[in-house]
Amino acid sequence: MIKVEMNDFELKLDIYSPVKEIADFIRDDIIQNLHQSKDIDGNAVEGLKPSTIKQKKHSKVFFRTGELYRSIISYMQNKNTAIVTVAKRRLEATQYLCEGTDKMPKREFFGIGKKLKSKLDELVNTKTKVNGR
């Protein structure tokens, strides 16, 4: 965000990097899509096979123990760089889900799709404030 203050015909510019907030926004969007069984573009992913539903005793595509939901994390790597990632303990499962297999369809849930990109464009474009406006 760029904060601009004008006093007595002097402009004071402060640059604030909302990188952590944006990373958290991305993380939250990914988690929300997981809860709603949606892909990175917000489309419903292919449902589970009846045999899988019988085994899991429910039809939530991305839920078995809840560990996947908790493994989507964001953190600051340094002052200017934030990371959104999957905890190492769930990387293999994430790859398996996002790429699919011979027996399981691809269900790409991790990344920035068109819908999220549009939201981010709006968020970034509204981050300039002039004297509180």
Domain span at residue 35 reads 18-130
Q: Is residue 45 part of a domain?
A: yes
Average pLDDT, the chain: 86
Range of lowest pLDDT (19-23, 66-70, 103-107, 127-131): 127-131
**pLDDT given at position 96:** 93
- Angle (deg, nearest 10), helices 114-125 and 19-35: 150
pLDDT value at residue 14: 65
Domains of the chain: total: 1
**Does the residue 1 lie in any domain?**
no
In a domain, 6, yes or no: no
* Nearest to 119, CA basis, from 9, 50, 33: 33
Q: Note whether residue 3 is domain-resident.
A: no
